[in-house]
Amino acid sequence: MIKKIFLFSTLLFATNAFCAAVKVAPLNWWVGMQAPELQLMVHAPQVKGDDWQLQPYAGVSLQSVQFADSDNYAFLNLQVSAEAQSGWLNLINRSDPSQSFQFELKARQAGSKDRRGFSSRDVVYLITPDRFANGDPKNDNHPSMVERSNPEFKGGRHGGDLAGVIARLDYLQQLGVTQLWLTPVLENSMPSYSYHGYAITDLYQVDPRMGSNEQYIELAQQAKARGIGLIMDMVPNHIGSEHPWLKDKPTADWINYGGEFVGTSHARQTVQDPHASEYDKQRFTDGWFVPTMPDLNQKQPLLARYLTQNAIWWIETAALSGFRVDTYPYSDKMFLQQWLQAIFNEYPHFNVVGEEWTTETAIAAYWQRGGHNRDGYISYLPTVMDFSLQTALVQALNEPEGWDKGWWRVYQSIAKDFLYADPNNVLIFGDNHDMSRVYTQLKQNLPNTKLALTLLLTMRGIPQLYYGTEVLLDNGASNDHGDIRIDFPGGFSGGIADAVSGQGLSRAQQEMQAYVRQLLHIRAKHRALQTGKLTHFAPFDGIYGYARVDEQGGGVLVLLNKQPTPYTFASTRMAEVLGSKSTGRDLLMDKDIALATLTVPAQGALLVLF
- Strands, sheet with 87-93, edge to edge from the N-terminal-most edge strand: 29-30, 101-106, 87-93, 52-54
**Distance of alpha carbon 393 from alpha carbon 334, whole angstroms:** 34
312 domain residue, yes or no: no
CA distances from residue 490 to 125, 326, 335, 481, 502 in whole angstroms, order as listed: 18, 29, 42, 20, 9
Query: pLDDT of 544-599, one tens digit each?
Result: 999 999 998 899 999 999 999 999 999 999 999 999 999 999 999 999 999 999 99
CB 568 within 8 A of CB 601: no
Query: pLDDT of 231-252, one tens digit each?
Result: 999 999 999 999 999 999 999 9
**Mean pLDDT within 396-400:** 98
* 604 plus 483 within the same structural domain: no
**Distance of alpha carbon 563 from alpha carbon 542, whole angstroms:** 6
288 domain residue, yes or no: no
**Distance of alpha carbon 441 from alpha carbon 464, whole angstroms:** 16
> What is the 3 state secondary structure string of 230-296?
EEEEECCCECCCCCHHHHCCCCCCCEHHHHCCCECCCCHHHHCCCCCCHHHHHHHHHCECCCCCCEE
Among 477, 509, 528, the domain-final residue is 528
We report the CATH number of the domain holding residue 35 as 2.60.40.10
- Strands, sheet with 605-609, edge to edge from the N-terminal-most edge strand: 533-540, 543-549, 555-561, 605-609, 583-586, 591-594
CA dihedral sign of residues 59, 65, 71, 73: negative
* 48 plus 172 within the same structural domain: no
Among 479, 505, 528, the domain-final residue is 528
The angle formed by the CA atoms of residues 454, 224 and 142, to the nearest 5 degrees, is: 100
CB 120 within 8 A of CB 352: no
From 307, 324, 258, 311, select the one nearest 287 (Cα to Cα).
Answer: 258
How many structural domains is the chain composed of? 3
Q: Is 355 one of the catalytic residues?
A: yes
* 566 plus 478 within the same structural domain: no
Query: pLDDT of 41-61, one tens digit each?
Result: 999 999 999 999 999 999 999
* 483 plus 375 within the same structural domain: yes
* 138 plus 199 within the same structural domain: yes
* 82 plus 141 within the same structural domain: no
Distance of CA 276 to the CA centre of its chain: 30
Query: pLDDT of 440-452, one tens digit each?
Result: 999 999 999 999 9
* 96 plus 55 within the same structural domain: yes
Residue 516 has pLDDT above 60, yes or no: yes
Q: 438 CB contacts (<8 Å, ≥6 apart)?
A: 394, 430, 431, 449, 452, 453, 466, 469
**Distance of alpha carbon 155 from alpha carbon 128, whole angstroms:** 13
Q: Is 326 one of the catalytic residues?
A: yes
* 345 plus 448 within the same structural domain: yes
267 domain residue, yes or no: no
| Active-site annotation holder among 355, 356, 470, 487 | 355
Query: pLDDT of 142-196, one tens digit each?
Result: 999 999 999 999 999 999 999 999 999 999 999 999 999 999 999 999 999 999 9
DSSP string, 61-80: EEEEEEE-SSTTEEEEEEEE
573: three-class secondary structure by DSSP: helix
Q: What is the pLDDT of residue 39?
A: 98
* 328 plus 446 within the same structural domain: yes
* 148 plus 26 within the same structural domain: no
Helix or strand holding residue 534 (H, E): strand 533-540
Q: In the chain, what percentage of residues exceed pLDDT 90?
A: 96
From 240, 259, 238, 239, select the one nearest 328 (Cα to Cα).
Answer: 238
- Extract the runs of DSSP E, i.e. beta strands, from 336-460: 351-354, 383-385, 426-429
* 395 plus 488 within the same structural domain: yes
* 376 plus 490 within the same structural domain: yes
CB 254 within 8 A of CB 41: no
* C-alpha atoms less than 13 angstroms from C-alpha of 507 in its C-beta half-sphere: 0
54: three-class secondary structure by DSSP: strand
| Active-site annotation holder among 187, 202, 326, 356 | 326
268 domain residue, yes or no: no
From 359, 434, 441, select the one nearest 392 (Cα to Cα).
Answer: 359
Among 528, 557, 573, the domain-final residue is 528
Q: Which residues form the domain of 86?
A: 2-106
Q: What is the pLDDT of residue 21?
A: 87
CB 131 within 8 A of CB 483: no
